[in-house]
Structure 1
Amino acid sequence: MDLKKLAGQAGQFLTRAVQYTEEKIGSAEKTELDGHFESLSHQADSARHWTEKMLVGAESVLIPNPGNRVEDMIFEKIEKRRPNRLSNLEYFGLDMVQAGNDFGSGTAYGSALLKVGGAEQRLGMVEREFISNAVQGFIQPLRKFLETEMKTITKEKRLLETKRLDLDACKSRLRKARSLDGQSSQKDAVDPKVLVAQAEADLRKAQADFDRQAEITKLLLEGVRSSQAAHLRYLNELVEAQTLYYDQSHKVMVELQKELASVPFNPSAVGAFDNSVPVFQINDEEIDLQSPSSP
């Protein structure tokens, strides 16, 4: 371990902490960035904020189950394929199909259950395809934007703030060194002119480091606006996937209505069952509750 380097880093951290504290209490000056830079920074923060909200909203709509969302994210991190799980519509349709088989395809109700169950399963497959397309064309690109471009910008902005604290700390040291210059130096004390020269050299280096980091950060911030063209393409892909989903779903339902129209339905049988008179049997004798002769 390089103790000298470690001590130097600790000293820099302390200097920055002191500078930050003095700025907060108003006893130290702070270098302000220009208005254009601040505008770019605000736009980047806004882009990150709304992209995060849209991602959360899209995921909650496409994958309502939070557990499934976490599972899918884990599989993406380890670069494995997402689990090919059935949708709720497919489970619903499967129950209908099983019930229809149990009641018998020869009965009207059983036949209808088989037809509706099959349609629900097809709807579930259409829904799964839509979710897959939306995730690949909209969610994944936006998440990549947050995890690459925005994460890099956040890192560089943090580094710029560090360089800014170093710069302002150097300015403070130079002001103190100049205030000592011209005063009578004590014996064995460091010549104030030497302190001023050293402070000026430190300031020049800190200013160069700050300017270079500000330019790097500014270039990254300017790239955020240009990324909106790609985001517009992702949005169009989402709309196309959703349009296809509703179109296919509508076709499935229209076809189902035609199939159900061929299923025989006898309203009189239902009415006869609904209007049936309650009958009790006592000692092998049936008693009609609505008969006038009933006790």
Structure 2
Amino acid sequence: MDLKKLAGQAGQFLTRAVQYTEEKIGSAEKTELDGHFESLSHQADSARHWTEKMLVGAESVLIPNPGNRVEDMIFEKIEKRRPNRLSNLEYFGLDMVQAGNDFGSGTAYGSALLKVGGAEQRLGMVEREFISNAVQGFIQPLRKFLETEMKTITKEKRLLETKRLDLDACKSRLRKARSLDGQSSAEADLRKAQADFDRQAEITKLLLEGVRSSQAAHLRYLNELVEAQTLYYDQSHKVMVELQKELASVPFNPSAVGAFDNSVPVFQINDEEIDLQSPSSP
């Protein structure tokens, strides 16, 4: 273990902590970045904020079950793929098909259940395909943007703040220097700190400028989401139109239902039938 190196790092950390504290209480000056840099930084923060919100919103719509979202994330990290699970519509359709088989395809209700159940299963498959396309074309690219570009920018901004604290600590030390040797040493440290700060500021600025150009890619992801959603609704509409045509062929006798709907409640008291809808009824 290099104790000298550790001691130097501890000294740097303490110097930064002192500089930060003095800035907060107003007893030390702080180097401000130019307005253009601050504008770029604000735009990057805004891009991260809204991308995170859109990502959460898209995941909530596409995968409403929080447990499934966690499972998907784990599978993507470990297996590099999402689990292939049936959708709720497919389970719903499966129940209908099983009920239809139990009631019998020769009955009107059983036949209708088989047709509707099959359509619900097809809708579920269409939905799964839509979710897969939306995840690949929209969610994954946005998540990658946050985990790569934005994470790198955050790291470099923190490093820039560290270089800025070192620079201002050197400025403060130079102002407090009394001897010529002390001033000479402080000036040398200041020149190095200024060079390190300027270099880090330029690196961070280039990264921040790249955020705006990434919007062109994000626009493409948005178009892919819309295309996937349009295809989903178009295919779903076709399934439902076809289902309506199939149901039209199922025999349905409305009089059988009307016989129950139009029935009059009758009670019998002491061998006498009383019509509850009759005006003369007590």
The question of 1:220 aligning with 2:240 is answered no
Return the TM-score normalized by structure 1: 0.88
- The worse-fitting range, judged by mean Cα deviation, of 82-91 and 278-287 is 278-287
Distance of aligned partners of 1:287 and 1:106 in 2 relative to their CA distance in 1, 3 Å threshold: farther
What is the CA deviation profile of residues 159-181 of structure 1, one whole-angstrom value per residue up to 9, with x for unaligned ones? 00000000000000000015889
Task: Identify which range, 26-35 or 270-279, moves more after superposition.
Answer: 270-279
Q: Distance in 2 between matches of 1:273 and 1:3?
A: 93
Following TM superposition, where does structure 1 have runs of at least 4 consecutive aligned residues deviating by more than 4 angstroms?
178-185, 276-295
Secondary structure of the corresponding residue to residue 280 of structure 1: strand
Matching of residue 4 in structure 1 with residue 17 in structure 2:
no
Measured in 2, the distance between the counterparts of 1:232 and 1:42 equals: 20
Residue 33 to residue 290, structure 1, CA distance change in 2 (3 Å): closer
Distance 1:174 1:148, change over 3 A: same
TM-score (norm 2): 0.92
**Deviation readout 1:39-71 (Å, 9 max, x if unpaired):** 000000000000000000000000000000001
Q: Write out aligned runs for 1:118-157 (5 A).
A: 118-157=118-157
Alpha-carbon distance, 1:182 to partner: 12
Aligned residues: 282
Q: Distance in 1 between matches of 2:182 and 2:135?
A: 70
Selected match of 1:260 from 247, 255, 266: 247
Tell me the SS of whatever aligns to 2:179. Answer: helix
CA distance in 2: counterparts of 1:290 and 1:223, whole angstroms: 79
Deviation string 1:137-174 (CA, Å, 9 cap, x unpaired) is 00000000000000000000000000000000000000
Structure 1 position 96, deviation (Å): 0.8
Q: Tell me how far 1:77 sits from its aligned partner.
A: 1.3
Deviations 1:90-126 (A, max 9, x none): 1111111111111111111111111111101000000
Matched position secondary structure for 1:223:
helix
Summarize the Cα distance change of 1:201–1:292 in structure 2 as closer, same or farther, 3 Å threshold.
Answer: closer
Question: In the TM superposition, what whole-angstrom CA distance separates every residue of 1:180-200 from its partner, at most 9, and x where no partner exists?
Answer: 899999xxxxxxxxxxxxx00
Structure 1 residues 98-107 or 20-29, which shifts more? Answer: 98-107
Aligned-pair CA distance for 1:201: 0.2
User: Counterparts of 2:269 and 2:243 in 1: how far apart (Å)?
Assistant: 48
Cα distance change, pair 79–152 in 1 and its aligned pair in 2 (3 A):
farther
The change in CA–CA distance for 1:25 and 1:107 in structure 2 (over 3 A counts) is: same
RMSD: 3.1
Q: CA deviation at 1:277?
A: 5.8
**Worse overlay, 238-247 or 96-105:** 96-105
Shift of 1:292: 14
The change in CA–CA distance for 1:226 and 1:89 in structure 2 (over 3 A counts) is same
Give the Cα separation in 1 of the matches to 2:145 and 2:72: 18
215-224 vs 274-283, which deviates more? Answer: 274-283
| Structure 2: unaligned runs, 5 residues or longer | none
Question: Per the alignment, do residues 184 and 105 of structure 1 end up closer, same or farther by CA in structure 2, a change over 3 Å counting?
Answer: closer
Indicate how the Cα distance of structure 1 residues 99 and 280 shifts in structure 2: closer, same or farther if over 3 A, else same: farther
Q: Residues 12 and 293 of structure 1: is their aligned pair in 2 closer, same or farther, counting only changes over 3 Å?
A: closer
Change (3 A) 1:276 1:200: same
Once the two structures are aligned, what percentage of the paired residues are identical?
100
Q: CA deviation at 1:80?
A: 2.9
Structure 1 residues 98 and 184, CA gap change in structure 2 (3 angstroms) = closer
* Aligned 8 A contact 2:97 2:114 in 1: yes
1:285 & 1:266 partners in 2: Cα distance? 34
Q: 2:177·2:183 contact (CA, 8 Å) conserved in 1? A: no
CA distance in 1, matches of 2:228, 2:133: 6
Secondary structure of 2:274 counterpart: strand
Conservation of the 8 A alpha-carbon contact between 2:174 and 2:183: no
Bigger-Rg structure (1/2): 1
Structure 1: tracts of 5 or more residues without a match:
186-198
Measured after TM superposition, the shift of residue 210 of structure 1 is 0.3
Deviations 1:64-94 (A, max 9, x none): 0000000101111124321111111111111
1:11 Cα offset (Å): 0.3
Deviation, 1:288, is 10
* Structure-2 change in CA distance of 1:20 and 1:285 (3 Å): same
Paired with 1:280 and 1:9, the residues of 2 have a C-alpha distance of 95
Displacement of 1:273 in angstroms is 2.9
CA distance in 2, matches of 1:51, 1:95: 39
